[in-house]
Amino acid sequence: MSDALRSVIDRLETARIVPTVRAHDAESADRLAHTLWGAGVRAFEFTATTPGWRELVARWTRQEPGGLLGLGTVTSASVAEAALEAGAHFLVSPFQVPEVRPVVDAADRLFVEGGHSPTELRAAALRGVAKLFPAHVGGLAYLRSLRSVLPGARIMATGGVRLETAADWLAAGAFTVSIGRELAEADDVPAALQRLRKRQEAGSDV
């Protein structure tokens, strides 16, 4: 593993909570990103389903060089190429996309591929970090079972992870967790993140 990949993985591990910024338009996504940044979040991902995501990624990587910015819902090599050109530090997919691998390998960037079976997650984890999606199918018990047979795997839990359960996922062995819609719809995002961080620091009985 290269130093560049290791650096991104280390920063994800430090962040632990990596929000997904998904919105119907670029303005809403940008507004949520600013709110997250103001609340101390330094690692998050936009998604390729948000209109104007290329400009968002390019602007945020240029204006906030201290952040760790990814692009989610990467489902083709062409999307991956555009994301890397815009400056994304890592890419995420909800499932395996073999045609993206040579693109990210050539750029020495992290690609977090999604999966649900032990076979899929093992293959993805061997490349750096795997994405358990949708995480709520199987839940915490399934994650613990996966960790028992894949003890060294770095697994990002995504899909159905809620604000009140995120700390449980981390305590159960998730490398990172991603929260999307529920965080975006929170009345007070900074307060919601503060409560989550307190639960994380206190630990969870899982």
Residue 142, pLDDT score: 98
Neighbours of 144 (CB within 10 A): 13
Query: Quick one: which of 44, 50, 43, 57 has its CA closest to 23?
Result: 50
Whether 190 shows a pLDDT value over 70: the answer reads: yes
For residues 15-27, average pLDDT: 96
Whether 19 shows a pLDDT value over 90: the answer reads: yes
Residue 204, pLDDT score: 53
Give per-residue pLDDT as tens, 98-127. 999 999 999 999 999 999 999 999 999 999
Sheet holding 90-92, edge to edge: 20-21, 43-47, 68-72, 90-92, 110-115, 130-132, 155-158, 176-178
Q: Could you tell me what percentage of the chain is helix, strand and coil, using 3-state DSSP and rounding each to the nearest 5?
A: 50, 15, 35
Residue 206, pLDDT score: 41
Long-range contacts of 70-76 (CB under 8 A, 24+ apart): 70/18, 70/43, 70/44, 70/45, 70/46, 70/112, 71/45, 71/46, 71/47, 72/20, 72/22, 72/45, 72/46, 72/47, 72/48, 73/47, 73/48, 73/49, 74/48, 74/100, 74/111, 75/48, 76/100
Residue 184, pLDDT score: 85
Residue 183, pLDDT score: 87
Give per-residue pLDDT as tens, 66-99. 999 999 999 999 999 999 999 999 999 999 999 9
Give per-residue pLDDT as tens, 23-67. 999 999 999 999 999 999 999 999 999 999 999 999 999 999 999
**What are the sequence ranges of the domains in the chain?**
3-198
Whether 128 shows a pLDDT value over 90: the answer reads: yes
Q: Return the DSSP state at 99.
A: G
For residues 171-179, average pLDDT: 96
Q: Which CATH superfamily is domain 3-198 in?
A: Aldolase class I (3.20.20.70)
